[in-house]
Structure 1
Protein backbone atom coordinates (compact mmCIF):
# COMPACT_ATOMS: atom_id res chain seq x y z
CA UNK A 1 0.00 0.00 0.00
CA UNK A 2 2.79 2.41 0.98
CA UNK A 3 4.79 1.70 -2.17
CA UNK A 4 1.72 2.24 -4.33
CA UNK A 5 0.96 5.55 -2.60
CA UNK A 6 4.56 6.65 -2.97
CA UNK A 7 4.60 5.78 -6.66
CA UNK A 8 1.42 7.76 -7.17
CA UNK A 9 2.90 10.83 -5.48
CA UNK A 10 6.13 10.52 -7.45
CA UNK A 11 4.19 10.33 -10.71
CA UNK A 12 2.25 13.44 -9.73
CA UNK A 13 5.43 15.36 -9.00
CA UNK A 14 7.23 14.18 -12.11
CA UNK A 15 7.44 16.52 -15.10
CA UNK A 16 7.16 15.04 -18.58
CA UNK A 17 9.80 16.39 -20.93
CA UNK A 18 9.67 16.69 -24.71
CA UNK A 19 12.66 16.66 -27.07
CA UNK A 20 12.54 20.47 -27.37
CA UNK A 21 12.68 21.06 -23.60
CA UNK A 22 15.90 22.09 -21.89
CA UNK A 23 17.32 22.68 -18.42
CA UNK A 24 17.79 26.30 -17.43
CA UNK A 25 20.56 27.85 -15.37
CA UNK A 26 18.36 27.48 -12.26
CA UNK A 27 18.27 23.72 -12.78
CA UNK A 28 14.58 23.64 -13.73
CA UNK A 29 13.09 22.13 -16.86
CA UNK A 30 11.99 24.71 -19.46
CA UNK A 31 9.60 24.43 -22.40
CA UNK A 32 11.42 24.48 -25.71
CA UNK A 33 8.54 26.39 -27.36
CA UNK A 34 7.40 29.14 -24.99
CA UNK A 35 10.64 29.23 -22.95
CA UNK A 36 8.70 29.14 -19.69
CA UNK A 37 9.59 26.81 -16.79
CA UNK A 38 7.70 23.53 -16.54
CA UNK A 39 8.85 23.06 -12.96
CA UNK A 40 9.03 25.08 -9.75
CA UNK A 41 10.90 24.55 -6.49
CA UNK A 42 9.02 23.86 -3.28
CA UNK A 43 9.14 26.93 -1.00
CA UNK A 44 11.75 27.32 1.71
CA UNK A 45 13.79 24.39 0.50
CA UNK A 46 11.11 21.85 1.40
CA UNK A 47 11.02 18.44 -0.28
CA UNK A 48 8.44 15.77 -0.93
CA UNK A 49 9.60 12.15 -1.06
CA UNK A 50 13.07 13.35 -1.76
CA UNK A 51 12.10 15.78 -4.52
CA UNK A 52 12.67 19.49 -4.26
CA UNK A 53 10.44 20.52 -7.16
CA UNK A 54 6.96 20.04 -8.59
CA UNK A 55 5.37 20.39 -12.04
CA UNK A 56 4.31 23.84 -13.24
CA UNK A 57 2.26 24.81 -16.28
CA UNK A 58 4.17 26.59 -18.99
CA UNK A 59 2.30 28.90 -21.37
CA UNK A 60 1.89 26.10 -23.92
CA UNK A 61 0.43 23.70 -21.39
CA UNK A 62 -1.88 26.35 -19.97
CA UNK A 63 -3.19 27.22 -23.44
CA UNK A 64 -3.72 23.54 -24.25
CA UNK A 65 -5.55 22.96 -20.96
CA UNK A 66 -7.84 25.93 -21.52
CA UNK A 67 -8.58 24.71 -25.04
CA UNK A 68 -9.50 21.26 -23.72
CA UNK A 69 -11.66 22.77 -20.99
CA UNK A 70 -13.44 25.03 -23.50
CA UNK A 71 -14.08 22.09 -25.82
CA UNK A 72 -15.44 20.01 -22.94
CA UNK A 73 -17.62 22.89 -21.76
CA UNK A 74 -19.00 23.35 -25.28
CA UNK A 75 -19.65 19.62 -25.64
CA UNK A 76 -21.47 19.55 -22.31
CA UNK A 77 -23.48 22.65 -23.29
CA UNK A 78 -24.57 21.13 -26.62
CA UNK A 79 -25.62 17.92 -24.89
CA UNK A 80 -27.66 19.89 -22.36
CA UNK A 81 -29.38 21.96 -25.05
CA UNK A 82 -30.13 18.84 -27.08
CA UNK A 83 -31.66 17.18 -24.03
CA UNK A 84 -33.76 20.26 -23.25
CA UNK A 85 -35.10 20.49 -26.80
CA UNK A 86 -35.97 16.79 -26.94
CA UNK A 87 -37.90 17.21 -23.72
CA UNK A 88 -39.35 20.66 -24.35
CA UNK A 89 -40.68 20.47 -27.91
CA UNK A 90 -43.57 18.29 -29.02
CA UNK A 91 -42.58 18.73 -32.69
CA UNK A 92 -38.94 18.49 -33.90
CA UNK A 93 -39.69 21.18 -36.52
CA UNK A 94 -39.90 23.69 -33.67
CA UNK A 95 -36.13 23.53 -33.33
CA UNK A 96 -35.88 25.57 -36.52
CA UNK A 97 -38.06 28.36 -35.12
CA UNK A 98 -35.20 30.66 -34.20
CA UNK A 99 -34.36 34.34 -34.39
CA UNK A 100 -31.61 33.44 -36.87
CA UNK A 101 -34.16 31.88 -39.24
CA UNK A 102 -36.69 34.72 -38.94
CA UNK A 103 -37.74 36.31 -42.24
CA UNK A 104 -38.02 39.75 -40.64
CA UNK A 105 -41.70 40.20 -41.56
CA UNK A 106 -43.15 40.06 -38.05
CA UNK A 107 -43.03 43.51 -36.39
CA UNK A 108 -43.40 41.98 -32.93
CA UNK A 109 -40.21 39.89 -33.17
CA UNK A 110 -38.28 42.63 -31.36
CA UNK A 111 -40.59 42.16 -28.38
CA UNK A 112 -39.69 38.47 -28.38
CA UNK A 113 -35.98 39.29 -28.38
CA UNK A 114 -36.47 41.74 -25.53
CA UNK A 115 -38.39 39.07 -23.60
CA UNK A 116 -35.36 36.78 -23.80
CA UNK A 117 -32.87 39.54 -23.02
CA UNK A 118 -34.84 40.52 -19.90
CA UNK A 119 -35.48 36.94 -18.83
CA UNK A 120 -34.08 37.36 -15.33
CA UNK A 121 -36.54 40.17 -14.58
CA UNK A 122 -39.29 38.44 -16.59
CA UNK A 123 -38.91 35.26 -14.59
CA UNK A 124 -38.68 37.03 -11.25
CA UNK A 125 -41.75 39.14 -11.96
CA UNK A 126 -43.79 36.30 -13.48
CA UNK A 127 -44.54 38.20 -16.70
CA UNK A 128 -46.37 36.19 -19.36
CA UNK A 129 -47.45 36.90 -22.93
CA UNK A 130 -50.74 36.31 -24.72
CA UNK A 131 -49.90 36.27 -28.43
CA UNK A 132 -53.10 36.75 -30.41
CA UNK A 133 -53.85 37.57 -34.02
CA UNK A 134 -55.04 36.14 -37.30
CA UNK A 135 -54.10 32.69 -38.58
CA UNK A 136 -50.63 32.36 -40.06
CA UNK A 137 -49.17 35.61 -38.72
CA UNK A 138 -46.28 33.91 -36.91
CA UNK A 139 -47.55 33.63 -33.33
CA UNK A 140 -46.28 30.08 -32.83
CA UNK A 141 -43.00 30.89 -34.57
CA UNK A 142 -42.47 33.90 -32.32
CA UNK A 143 -43.09 31.78 -29.22
CA UNK A 144 -40.76 29.10 -30.60
CA UNK A 145 -38.00 31.68 -31.05
CA UNK A 146 -38.28 32.57 -27.37
CA UNK A 147 -38.22 28.88 -26.40
CA UNK A 148 -35.16 28.08 -28.52
CA UNK A 149 -33.25 31.14 -27.32
CA UNK A 150 -33.87 30.32 -23.67
CA UNK A 151 -32.98 26.65 -24.10
CA UNK A 152 -29.74 27.74 -25.78
CA UNK A 153 -29.05 29.40 -22.42
CA UNK A 154 -29.80 26.04 -20.72
CA UNK A 155 -33.15 27.27 -19.36
CA UNK A 156 -35.80 24.51 -19.53
CA UNK A 157 -38.91 25.38 -21.55
CA UNK A 158 -41.94 23.27 -22.46
CA UNK A 159 -43.86 24.18 -25.63
CA UNK A 160 -46.99 22.12 -26.09
CA UNK A 161 -50.73 22.46 -26.73
CA UNK A 162 -53.93 21.48 -24.97
CA UNK A 163 -54.82 18.81 -27.52
CA UNK A 164 -51.74 16.85 -26.43
CA UNK A 165 -52.18 17.74 -22.77
CA UNK A 166 -55.78 16.49 -22.71
CA UNK A 167 -54.76 13.26 -24.42
CA UNK A 168 -51.99 12.73 -21.87
CA UNK A 169 -54.31 13.47 -18.96
CA UNK A 170 -56.91 11.04 -20.30
CA UNK A 171 -54.25 8.35 -20.61
CA UNK A 172 -52.86 8.87 -17.10
CA UNK A 173 -55.90 9.21 -14.87
CA UNK A 174 -54.02 8.26 -11.70
CA UNK A 175 -51.07 10.59 -12.35
CA UNK A 176 -52.89 13.78 -13.34
CA UNK A 177 -51.55 15.84 -10.46
CA UNK A 178 -48.01 14.65 -11.11
CA UNK A 179 -48.37 15.43 -14.82
CA UNK A 180 -49.63 18.96 -14.17
CA UNK A 181 -46.92 19.49 -11.56
CA UNK A 182 -44.31 18.56 -14.16
CA UNK A 183 -45.73 21.14 -16.57
CA UNK A 184 -45.57 23.74 -13.83
CA UNK A 185 -41.98 22.86 -12.97
CA UNK A 186 -40.65 24.38 -16.20
CA UNK A 187 -39.35 27.95 -15.79
CA UNK A 188 -41.39 28.81 -18.91
CA UNK A 189 -44.48 27.02 -20.22
CA UNK A 190 -45.77 27.81 -23.72
CA UNK A 191 -49.30 26.75 -24.68
CA UNK A 192 -49.65 26.87 -28.45
CA UNK A 193 -52.93 27.20 -30.41
CA UNK A 194 -55.03 27.83 -27.33
CA UNK A 195 -58.76 27.64 -28.05
CA UNK A 196 -58.47 24.91 -30.67
CA UNK A 197 -59.21 22.11 -28.22
CA UNK A 198 -62.68 20.64 -27.80
CA UNK A 199 -64.92 22.67 -25.50
CA UNK A 200 -66.38 19.75 -23.55
CA UNK A 201 -67.11 20.13 -19.86
CA UNK A 202 -64.27 17.72 -19.05
CA UNK A 203 -61.89 19.48 -21.42
CA UNK A 204 -62.63 22.95 -20.07
CA UNK A 205 -62.16 21.73 -16.50
CA UNK A 206 -58.75 20.30 -17.31
CA UNK A 207 -57.75 23.45 -19.22
CA UNK A 208 -58.63 25.51 -16.17
CA UNK A 209 -56.75 23.13 -13.86
CA UNK A 210 -53.56 23.46 -15.92
CA UNK A 211 -53.76 27.25 -16.23
CA UNK A 212 -54.73 27.74 -12.59
CA UNK A 213 -51.90 25.45 -11.44
CA UNK A 214 -49.48 27.44 -13.57
CA UNK A 215 -50.87 30.63 -12.02
CA UNK A 216 -50.24 29.30 -8.53
CA UNK A 217 -46.71 28.21 -9.47
CA UNK A 218 -45.88 31.91 -10.00
CA UNK A 219 -43.94 31.15 -13.16
CA UNK A 220 -44.33 32.81 -16.59
CA UNK A 221 -46.74 31.49 -19.19
CA UNK A 222 -46.87 32.26 -22.92
CA UNK A 223 -50.05 31.48 -24.85
CA UNK A 224 -50.68 31.72 -28.60
CA UNK A 225 -54.24 31.87 -29.86
CA UNK A 226 -56.35 32.69 -32.90
CA UNK A 227 -59.05 34.05 -30.59
CA UNK A 228 -59.47 37.81 -30.70
CA UNK A 229 -58.90 39.99 -27.67
CA UNK A 230 -62.61 40.84 -27.81
CA UNK A 231 -63.51 37.15 -27.53
CA UNK A 232 -61.14 36.71 -24.61
CA UNK A 233 -62.46 39.74 -22.77
CA UNK A 234 -66.13 38.84 -23.38
CA UNK A 235 -66.42 35.04 -23.10
CA UNK A 236 -69.58 33.17 -23.97
CA UNK A 237 -70.12 31.49 -20.61
CA UNK A 238 -68.84 31.14 -17.06
CA UNK A 239 -66.62 28.14 -17.84
CA UNK A 240 -64.71 30.09 -20.44
CA UNK A 241 -64.79 33.27 -18.37
CA UNK A 242 -62.76 31.88 -15.50
CA UNK A 243 -60.17 30.46 -17.91
CA UNK A 244 -59.82 33.68 -19.90
CA UNK A 245 -59.75 35.82 -16.74
CA UNK A 246 -56.82 33.77 -15.44
CA UNK A 247 -54.97 34.13 -18.74
CA UNK A 248 -55.48 37.89 -18.94
CA UNK A 249 -54.32 38.19 -15.33
CA UNK A 250 -51.14 36.24 -16.06
CA UNK A 251 -50.29 37.39 -19.59
CA UNK A 252 -49.86 40.70 -21.34
CA UNK A 253 -51.79 40.69 -24.67
CA UNK A 254 -49.65 41.25 -27.77
CA UNK A 255 -51.30 41.41 -31.19
CA UNK A 256 -49.08 39.66 -33.75
CA UNK A 257 -49.49 41.35 -37.13
CA UNK A 258 -46.98 39.65 -39.41
CA UNK A 259 -48.02 38.79 -42.95
CA UNK A 260 -49.74 35.45 -43.44
CA UNK A 261 -46.82 33.03 -43.40
CA UNK A 262 -48.81 30.12 -44.79
CA UNK A 263 -50.05 32.08 -47.79
CA UNK A 264 -46.57 33.49 -48.45
CA UNK A 265 -45.05 30.01 -48.29
CA UNK A 266 -47.69 28.59 -50.64
CA UNK A 267 -47.14 31.44 -53.11
CA UNK A 268 -43.38 30.97 -53.02
CA UNK A 269 -43.76 27.24 -53.70
CA UNK A 270 -46.08 27.97 -56.59
CA UNK A 271 -43.57 30.37 -58.15
CA UNK A 272 -40.72 27.87 -57.75
CA UNK A 273 -42.81 25.12 -59.34
CA UNK A 274 -43.70 27.35 -62.28
CA UNK A 275 -40.01 28.11 -62.77
CA UNK A 276 -39.15 24.40 -62.71
CA UNK A 277 -41.82 23.70 -65.31
CA UNK A 278 -40.47 26.48 -67.53
CA UNK A 279 -43.63 28.53 -67.34
CA UNK A 280 -45.91 25.79 -68.68
CA UNK A 281 -49.51 26.22 -67.70
CA UNK A 282 -50.69 23.56 -65.31
CA UNK A 283 -53.74 23.08 -63.17
CA UNK A 284 -52.89 23.33 -59.47
Structure 2
Protein backbone atom coordinates (compact mmCIF):
# COMPACT_ATOMS: atom_id res chain seq x y z
CA UNK A 1 0.00 0.00 0.00
CA UNK A 2 1.26 3.47 -0.87
CA UNK A 3 1.77 5.83 2.06
CA UNK A 4 2.91 9.43 2.55
CA UNK A 5 1.86 10.25 -0.99
CA UNK A 6 2.92 13.63 -2.41
CA UNK A 7 1.46 15.23 -5.54
CA UNK A 8 2.79 17.78 -8.02
CA UNK A 9 1.31 21.22 -7.36
CA UNK A 10 0.90 21.86 -11.10
CA UNK A 11 -0.30 18.67 -12.79
CA UNK A 12 -1.54 16.76 -9.75
CA UNK A 13 0.33 13.53 -10.50
CA UNK A 14 2.13 11.55 -7.81
CA UNK A 15 5.76 12.56 -7.35
CA UNK A 16 6.61 10.66 -4.12
CA UNK A 17 5.28 7.79 -2.01
CA UNK A 18 6.45 5.09 0.38
CA UNK A 19 5.67 1.45 -0.37
CA UNK A 20 6.91 -1.51 1.67
CA UNK A 21 9.42 0.77 3.46
CA UNK A 22 10.86 1.94 0.14
CA UNK A 23 10.82 5.60 -0.88
CA UNK A 24 9.72 6.02 -4.48
CA UNK A 25 10.22 9.21 -6.51
CA UNK A 26 8.20 9.42 -9.71
CA UNK A 27 8.33 11.75 -12.72
CA UNK A 28 5.12 13.67 -13.15
CA UNK A 29 3.72 15.06 -16.43
CA UNK A 30 5.55 18.37 -15.83
CA UNK A 31 8.94 16.66 -15.58
CA UNK A 32 8.25 14.48 -18.62
CA UNK A 33 7.26 17.51 -20.70
CA UNK A 34 10.39 19.38 -19.59
CA UNK A 35 12.62 16.45 -20.47
CA UNK A 36 11.07 16.24 -23.95
CA UNK A 37 11.39 20.01 -24.43
CA UNK A 38 15.10 19.90 -23.54
CA UNK A 39 15.67 17.02 -25.95
CA UNK A 40 13.85 18.83 -28.78
CA UNK A 41 15.86 22.02 -28.07
CA UNK A 42 19.11 20.04 -28.15
CA UNK A 43 18.51 18.80 -31.69
CA UNK A 44 17.26 22.20 -32.83
CA UNK A 45 20.60 23.60 -31.73
CA UNK A 46 22.49 20.92 -33.67
CA UNK A 47 20.44 21.44 -36.82
CA UNK A 48 21.99 23.27 -39.77
CA UNK A 49 19.09 25.03 -41.53
CA UNK A 50 17.88 28.34 -42.87
CA UNK A 51 16.98 30.73 -40.06
CA UNK A 52 13.41 31.06 -41.43
CA UNK A 53 12.77 27.30 -41.28
CA UNK A 54 10.92 27.51 -37.95
CA UNK A 55 8.26 29.76 -39.50
CA UNK A 56 7.21 27.23 -42.17
CA UNK A 57 3.69 25.98 -41.36
CA UNK A 58 1.05 24.09 -43.31
CA UNK A 59 -1.45 26.89 -42.75
CA UNK A 60 0.90 29.22 -44.65
CA UNK A 61 1.06 27.01 -47.75
CA UNK A 62 -0.02 28.57 -51.05
CA UNK A 63 -0.79 25.70 -53.40
CA UNK A 64 -0.70 26.30 -57.16
CA UNK A 65 -2.29 23.09 -58.49
CA UNK A 66 -4.32 20.01 -57.51
CA UNK A 67 -1.26 17.79 -57.31
CA UNK A 68 0.34 20.07 -54.75
CA UNK A 69 -2.91 20.14 -52.75
CA UNK A 70 -2.85 16.33 -52.73
CA UNK A 71 0.76 16.37 -51.51
CA UNK A 72 -0.11 18.80 -48.70
CA UNK A 73 -2.88 16.51 -47.44
CA UNK A 74 -0.52 13.52 -47.50
CA UNK A 75 2.21 15.47 -45.68
CA UNK A 76 -0.32 16.51 -43.03
CA UNK A 77 -1.37 12.89 -42.55
CA UNK A 78 2.29 11.89 -42.32
CA UNK A 79 2.77 14.43 -39.52
CA UNK A 80 -0.40 13.35 -37.73
CA UNK A 81 0.55 9.66 -37.96
CA UNK A 82 4.24 10.13 -37.34
CA UNK A 83 4.24 7.57 -34.54
CA UNK A 84 3.39 4.91 -37.13
CA UNK A 85 5.93 6.35 -39.60
CA UNK A 86 8.57 6.07 -36.88
CA UNK A 87 7.61 2.48 -36.06
CA UNK A 88 7.57 1.41 -39.73
CA UNK A 89 10.53 3.56 -40.88
CA UNK A 90 8.55 5.44 -43.55
CA UNK A 91 10.50 8.34 -45.12
CA UNK A 92 9.94 10.84 -47.93
CA UNK A 93 11.97 11.84 -51.01
CA UNK A 94 10.93 15.16 -52.57
CA UNK A 95 12.34 15.81 -56.07
CA UNK A 96 11.75 18.70 -58.44
CA UNK A 97 12.84 22.09 -59.69
CA UNK A 98 13.93 24.87 -57.31
CA UNK A 99 11.15 27.04 -55.94
CA UNK A 100 8.42 24.38 -56.00
CA UNK A 101 8.03 24.12 -52.22
CA UNK A 102 10.09 21.06 -51.27
CA UNK A 103 12.10 22.64 -48.46
CA UNK A 104 9.02 24.47 -47.19
CA UNK A 105 7.02 21.24 -46.81
CA UNK A 106 9.92 19.34 -45.25
CA UNK A 107 10.12 22.14 -42.66
CA UNK A 108 6.33 22.06 -42.17
CA UNK A 109 6.49 18.37 -41.27
CA UNK A 110 9.48 18.92 -38.98
CA UNK A 111 7.80 21.79 -37.13
CA UNK A 112 4.52 19.89 -36.79
CA UNK A 113 6.02 16.77 -35.22
CA UNK A 114 8.36 18.75 -32.95
CA UNK A 115 5.28 20.29 -31.37
CA UNK A 116 4.14 16.76 -30.60
CA UNK A 117 7.38 16.15 -28.69
CA UNK A 118 9.35 14.27 -31.36
CA UNK A 119 12.97 15.18 -32.03
CA UNK A 120 14.12 16.42 -35.44
CA UNK A 121 17.58 16.98 -36.87
CA UNK A 122 17.67 19.08 -40.06
CA UNK A 123 20.70 19.51 -42.30
CA UNK A 124 21.20 21.70 -45.32
CA UNK A 125 23.68 19.35 -46.97
CA UNK A 126 26.19 21.96 -48.08
CA UNK A 127 26.09 23.45 -44.56
CA UNK A 128 26.68 20.01 -43.04
CA UNK A 129 29.74 19.36 -45.22
CA UNK A 130 31.10 22.84 -44.51
CA UNK A 131 30.67 22.36 -40.77
CA UNK A 132 32.60 19.09 -40.58
CA UNK A 133 35.28 20.42 -42.97
CA UNK A 134 35.81 23.49 -40.76
CA UNK A 135 36.01 21.24 -37.71
CA UNK A 136 38.62 19.05 -39.45
CA UNK A 137 40.71 22.12 -40.34
CA UNK A 138 40.50 23.57 -36.81
CA UNK A 139 40.28 20.43 -34.71
CA UNK A 140 40.18 21.12 -30.98
CA UNK A 141 37.92 18.50 -29.39
CA UNK A 142 38.82 14.84 -28.99
CA UNK A 143 35.44 13.90 -30.52
CA UNK A 144 34.99 15.35 -34.01
CA UNK A 145 31.95 17.36 -35.08
CA UNK A 146 31.11 14.63 -37.58
CA UNK A 147 31.07 11.98 -34.84
CA UNK A 148 28.76 14.14 -32.72
CA UNK A 149 26.38 14.72 -35.62
CA UNK A 150 26.39 11.06 -36.68
CA UNK A 151 25.54 10.05 -33.11
CA UNK A 152 22.63 12.51 -33.16
CA UNK A 153 21.61 11.08 -36.56
CA UNK A 154 21.19 7.66 -34.96
CA UNK A 155 19.23 8.95 -31.97
CA UNK A 156 16.81 11.52 -33.39
CA UNK A 157 13.21 10.63 -34.38
CA UNK A 158 13.31 12.31 -37.81
CA UNK A 159 16.26 13.32 -39.97
CA UNK A 160 15.75 15.96 -42.69
CA UNK A 161 18.41 16.34 -45.39
CA UNK A 162 17.76 19.37 -47.57
CA UNK A 163 19.15 20.05 -51.05
CA UNK A 164 20.87 16.77 -51.87
CA UNK A 165 22.95 17.19 -55.02
CA UNK A 166 23.17 20.97 -54.85
CA UNK A 167 26.89 21.00 -55.63
CA UNK A 168 29.60 18.96 -57.31
CA UNK A 169 31.04 16.60 -54.72
CA UNK A 170 34.58 15.40 -54.23
CA UNK A 171 35.31 11.84 -53.20
CA UNK A 172 35.59 13.16 -49.63
CA UNK A 173 32.18 14.83 -49.82
CA UNK A 174 30.48 11.76 -51.25
CA UNK A 175 32.00 9.63 -48.50
CA UNK A 176 30.59 11.98 -45.84
CA UNK A 177 27.12 11.89 -47.39
CA UNK A 178 27.24 8.09 -47.54
CA UNK A 179 28.26 7.93 -43.87
CA UNK A 180 25.37 10.22 -42.94
CA UNK A 181 22.66 8.32 -44.81
CA UNK A 182 24.12 4.92 -43.90
CA UNK A 183 23.93 5.77 -40.18
CA UNK A 184 20.26 6.56 -40.60
CA UNK A 185 19.70 3.42 -42.64
CA UNK A 186 21.23 1.26 -39.90
CA UNK A 187 19.18 3.07 -37.23
CA UNK A 188 15.99 2.12 -39.12
CA UNK A 189 14.37 5.48 -38.53
CA UNK A 190 12.59 7.79 -41.02
CA UNK A 191 14.35 10.34 -43.19
CA UNK A 192 13.12 13.18 -45.41
CA UNK A 193 15.32 14.17 -48.36
CA UNK A 194 14.79 17.08 -50.76
CA UNK A 195 16.64 17.48 -54.05
CA UNK A 196 16.40 19.70 -57.14
CA UNK A 197 17.42 16.73 -59.29
CA UNK A 198 15.10 14.43 -61.18
CA UNK A 199 15.25 10.64 -60.79
CA UNK A 200 17.83 10.00 -63.53
CA UNK A 201 20.10 12.89 -62.58
CA UNK A 202 19.98 11.88 -58.93
CA UNK A 203 20.95 8.32 -59.79
CA UNK A 204 23.97 9.53 -61.76
CA UNK A 205 24.96 11.91 -58.96
CA UNK A 206 24.84 9.28 -56.22
CA UNK A 207 26.94 6.61 -57.87
CA UNK A 208 29.75 5.97 -55.41
CA UNK A 209 32.80 4.48 -57.12
CA UNK A 210 30.57 2.62 -59.56
CA UNK A 211 28.31 1.31 -56.77
CA UNK A 212 24.65 2.13 -56.24
CA UNK A 213 24.60 1.30 -52.50
CA UNK A 214 23.71 4.85 -51.51
CA UNK A 215 20.89 5.04 -54.03
CA UNK A 216 19.54 1.67 -52.91
CA UNK A 217 19.45 2.90 -49.32
CA UNK A 218 17.53 6.03 -50.23
CA UNK A 219 15.04 4.06 -52.34
CA UNK A 220 14.44 1.56 -49.55
CA UNK A 221 13.94 4.31 -46.94
CA UNK A 222 11.68 6.75 -48.79
CA UNK A 223 8.46 7.24 -50.75
CA UNK A 224 9.00 9.59 -53.75
CA UNK A 225 7.02 12.81 -54.34
CA UNK A 226 7.77 14.57 -57.64
CA UNK A 227 7.26 18.35 -57.64
CA UNK A 228 6.92 18.84 -61.41
CA UNK A 229 5.34 22.28 -61.59
CA UNK A 230 6.78 25.74 -62.23
CA UNK A 231 8.76 27.63 -59.61
CA UNK A 232 6.61 30.01 -57.58
CA UNK A 233 9.53 32.33 -56.93
CA UNK A 234 9.05 35.64 -58.72
CA UNK A 235 11.65 38.36 -59.33
CA UNK A 236 11.33 41.08 -56.71
CA UNK A 237 9.75 44.25 -58.06
CA UNK A 238 10.99 47.57 -56.74
CA UNK A 239 11.09 51.20 -57.81
CA UNK A 240 14.46 51.62 -56.10
CA UNK A 241 16.19 51.78 -59.52
CA UNK A 242 13.86 54.38 -60.97
Cα RMSD over matched residues?
3.1
Which residue matches 1:241? 212
The TM-score with structure 1 as length reference comes to: 0.62
Contact 2:91–2:192, Cα closer than 8 Å, also in 1: yes
1:109 aligned to which of 69, 72, 86 = 72
How much has 1:244 moved relative to structure 2? 1.8
1:262 to 233, 238, 242: 233
How far does residue 242 in structure 1 lie from its aligned partner after superposition? 2.5
With over 3 angstroms needed to count, the CA separation of the structure-2 counterparts of 1:79 and 1:144, relative to structure 1, is: same
Q: Show the counterpart of 2:103.
A: 140
> Is 1:220 matched up with 2:190?
yes
- How far the C-alpha of 1:255 sits from its partner, in A, is 0.7
Residue 212 of structure 1 deviates from its aligned partner by: 0.8
- The alignment status of 1:184 with 2:147, answered yes or no, reads no
1:6-43 Cα shifts (integer Å, max 9, x gaps)? xxxxxxxxxxxxxxxxxxxxxxxxxxxxxxxxxxxxxx
Q: TM-score, normalised by structure 2?
A: 0.72
**CA distance in structure 1 between the aligned counterparts of 2:102 and 2:215, rounded to whole angstroms:** 18
Indicate the residue corresponding to 1:252 in structure 2. Answer: 223
- Relative to total residues, which structure has the larger strand share, 1 or 2? 2
Q: 1:258 to 1:157 in 2, by over 3 A?
A: farther
Count of aligned residue pairs for this structure pair = 203
Q: Deviations over 1:34-64 (max 9, x none)?
A: xxxxxxxxxxxxxxxxxxxxxxxxxxxxxx9
1:127-177 deviation line (CA, Å, top 9, x unaligned): 111100111100000100000101111211111122122223224445233
Relative distance call for 1:236 and 1:90 in structure 2 (3 A) is closer
Q: Counterpart of 2:114?
A: 151
* Inter-partner Cα distance in structure 1 for 2:107 and 2:165: 18
State the Cα distance separating 1:81 from its structure 2 match.
9.3
Q: Label 1:65 to 1:224 Cα distance change in 2 as closer, same or farther (>3 A).
A: closer
Task: Specify every segment of 5 or more residues in structure 2 that has no aligned partner in the other structure, as ranges.
Answer: 1-8, 12-29, 137-142
Secondary structure in structure 1 of the residue aligned to 2:173: helix
